[in-house]
Amino acid sequence: MDYQKVLETIYQTIQQQQPTGTVAAYIPELAKVNPDQFGVHLTTIQQEEYGVGDFQKRFSIQSISKVLSLCLAYQLHGTEIWNRVGVEPSGTPFNSLVQLEYDLGIPRNPFMNGGALVICDILLSTFPDAKNAVLDFIRDLADNPNLNYAPAIVASERSTGNRNQALCHFIKSFNNIHNNPEDVLDLYFHLCSIEMSCEELSRTFLFFANNGCKVTDGKEILNPSRTKRLNALMLTCGFYDESGDFAFKVGLPGKSGVGGGIIAIHPEKYSIAVWSPRLNTKGNSQWGMDFLELFTTRTASSIF
Ligand code: DON
């Protein structure tokens, strides 16, 4: 398979489309991003790499980091975490509060903002310095000590973070947040602010395609059974109320962020990251979805 040629052909096809969607303006710093940037990077488990467009430019990975924080909590606490957060798709937007009251403060899944806040709470109870511990974990996955939080994004999110504050306090009222909500939100905003390029993202997520082992040094991050479960969660919940659509069109586990990034995993083959900041009405990158639909169709490489 000549992946480089396939990436370039699809890239050109998509670029000929009339751009639709808008950048995530509810976080003021993200509203400043040039919407026309577009990059793709693919890494195979044989460590072959292919890139096109702005694949080395860093962007705010936003909710994509929810997979990595979940992975760390799962690695350390195992199945216990499912007592505090569910594994069902919600069919609601990422920042929705509606189901939480019926569900007594147990978020439907760890990728909704409420679920990610509970995971942050678990990490805060685990580490004396959770912010540094999670960053170290991600740097190790990426084999890259230069990944960082972006203070301007953290401040920007905090300034408009009323919904996340409401979620955190509401969940605490059901005793499913144990720490001070301000500390939980601070960790959450930091995790959303991490900046990575498509190249860095596809390398970092490659262990999900390799039964939970890093390809670079063989280190086991999750055992194969747990890797299966997180891939399943990405497939069923990674795109919120558009998860069905993503499975239908792309057919891979994946995760989006409102910075316009998408990571997708083909178990035992590759991981692929796409970035285009214009979002559709569900908060997922429009060109990212379009690109991946064409990619898995032309390469006949979805999991189905
Ligand atoms: O909390 C928020 O609203 C953002 N920091 C993250 C949301 C997000 O990326 C949802 N993904 N599509």
Among protein residues, the one with the nearest Cα to ligand 1's atom 3 is 95
**Ligand 1 atom closest to residue 113's alpha carbon, by position in its atom list:** 1
**Ligand 1 atom closest to residue 116's alpha carbon, by position in its atom list:** 1
**Ligand 1 atom closest to residue 26's alpha carbon, by position in its atom list:** 3
Q: How far, in Å, from the CA of 212 to the mean position of ligand 1?
A: 25
CA 245 to centroid of chain Cα atoms: 17
Q: How far, in Å, from the CA of 114 to the mean position of ligand 1?
A: 11
**Ligand 1 atom closest to residue 189's alpha carbon, by position in its atom list:** 5
pLDDT at 243: 97
Q: How far, in Å, from the CA of 102 to the mean position of ligand 1?
A: 23
pLDDT digits (tens, 9 = 90+) for 234-291: 999 999 999 999 999 999 999 999 999 999 999 999 999 999 999 999 999 999 999 9
Q: How far, in Å, from the CA of 64 to the mean position of ligand 1?
A: 9
Q: Cβ(261) to ligand 1 under 6 A?
A: no
Q: How far, in Å, from the CA of 25 to the mean position of ligand 1?
A: 12
Q: Cβ(115) to ligand 1 under 6 A?
A: no
* 183, 124 contact by CB (below 8 A): yes
pLDDT at 13: 97
Model's pTM, two decimal places?
Answer: 0.98
Q: Cβ(123) to ligand 1 under 6 A?
A: no
Taking 70 as the pLDDT cut, the residues of the chain under it are none
pLDDT at 1: 87
